[in-house]
Amino acid sequence: MMQLTRRKLFAGAAAAGAVLAGPSPIVLSARAAAPAAGKQNAGWYRYKVGDFEVTVVTDGMNTNPLSDSYVVNAPKPDVNAALEADFLAKDKATHSYTPVVVNTGSKLVAIDTGLGLGMFDQSKGAVGQYHANLQAAGIDRNAVDVVIISHFHGDHINGLVGPENKPAFPNAEVMVPEVEWAFWADESNVSKLPDIAEPQMPNPKRVFGVLGNKVTKYQAGKELVPGITAIASPGHTPGHTSHVVASGNSKVLVQADITAGMATLFARHPEWQFVFDTDRAQAVQTRLKLYDMAATEKMMLQGYHFAFPAMVYVEKSGTGFRLVPAPWSSSI
């Protein structure tokens, strides 16, 4: 057995120093001044659900000041305390955006689409990354067969529009919740939106106009493609829908915005009402019901607004839920 004595260690260090001293000073200074990369790597992550392959594709994240009314039924100091309990900065609201693509073996299915290409420049690259990351993950948007939309907020539908204001998924059937379609089609419903969401009202018309309004309306409770079933989860918006992706003995709940905004806050405190939820009391009921189900069934959640790759398990803890991130894996 080799004995690593102090003398050998120092001799080794000296030898290493000699090697380092060998190259010309130019090389040495180049090593010292390696430029900072200054950017993140492509954001996608892949895992299996039974025979299905799920690719998580981030659209990025952004941070804004925490408004006083971010949680409408909890004072800001309580919200800040909850942020600090999660080792998050107080007085800041950081939002992540995390669509997924499911390859069922017979269909390539995108679920939600991010904030849209235009947001990339506007945010200096912080968000609007979805389509670039999709490409980085080796997924051709022309090969997508189906796009399933959870609800009509801009951070979920704007990525339906591609370059030159053309459909981003030209060969895909776009499936939208029937209730959601009806709600946003009637502009008098603007009065039912929270003030903060009112500017969203004309946006679905713009986005679906680009598609020539060619959509398939679906109902909750129905299997949309083999292995992907719509689950009613209203409150965030009237037609808000989540999706169970199931293959073999495995399943995951692609929850969309059952917890939205800084989603971790509303998992810990499901009774807290998010300013952006349309029917806040209903959103609380939906959260409690579906998180209770996920905890009981030990079903993984794929959460649109959790930090990338946004895969968590939940267990009951006090009046809320403790989140346990699913571990990273080097293979799928």
Task: Give the residues lining the site for Zn ion (CB under 5 A).
Answer: 155, 257
Which of 155/180 has CB closer to Zn ion?
Answer: 155
Q: How far is the CB of 204 from Zn ion (least distance, A)?
A: 14
Rounded to whole angstroms, the maximal C-alpha distance in the chain is: 83
Is it true that the peptide bond before 309 is cis, omega within 30 degrees of 0?
Answer: yes
Q: Which long-range contacts (CB under 8 A, 24 or more apart) does 291-300 make?
A: 291/258, 291/259, 291/267, 291/321, 292/316, 294/253, 295/321, 299/251, 299/252, 299/253, 300/252, 300/253, 300/326
- Beta carbons within 10 angstroms of residue 263's beta carbon: 25
- As a whole number of angstroms, the distance between CA 61 and CA 42 comes to 13
Label residue 212 exposed, middle or buried (CB < 10 Å: 0-12, 13-18, 19+): exposed
CB of residue 253 to Zn ion, shortest distance in Å: 16
Residue number with CB closer to Zn ion (178 or 257)? 257
Q: By C-beta, is 237 or 247 nearer to Zn ion? A: 237
- The residue (of 180 and 257) whose beta carbon lies closer to Zn ion is 257
Q: Least distance from C-beta 95 to Zn ion, angstroms?
A: 8
Query: In a 3-state reduction of DSSP, which class is residue 235?
Result: coil
Residue closer to Zn ion by CB (options 52, 272) is: 272
Rounded least distance, CB 236 to Zn ion, Å: 8
Q: How many Å from the N-terminal Cα to the C-terminal Cα in the chain?
A: 39
Residue 155 or 279: the one with the smaller Cβ distance to Zn ion is 155
8 A C-beta contact, residue 201 and residue 188: no
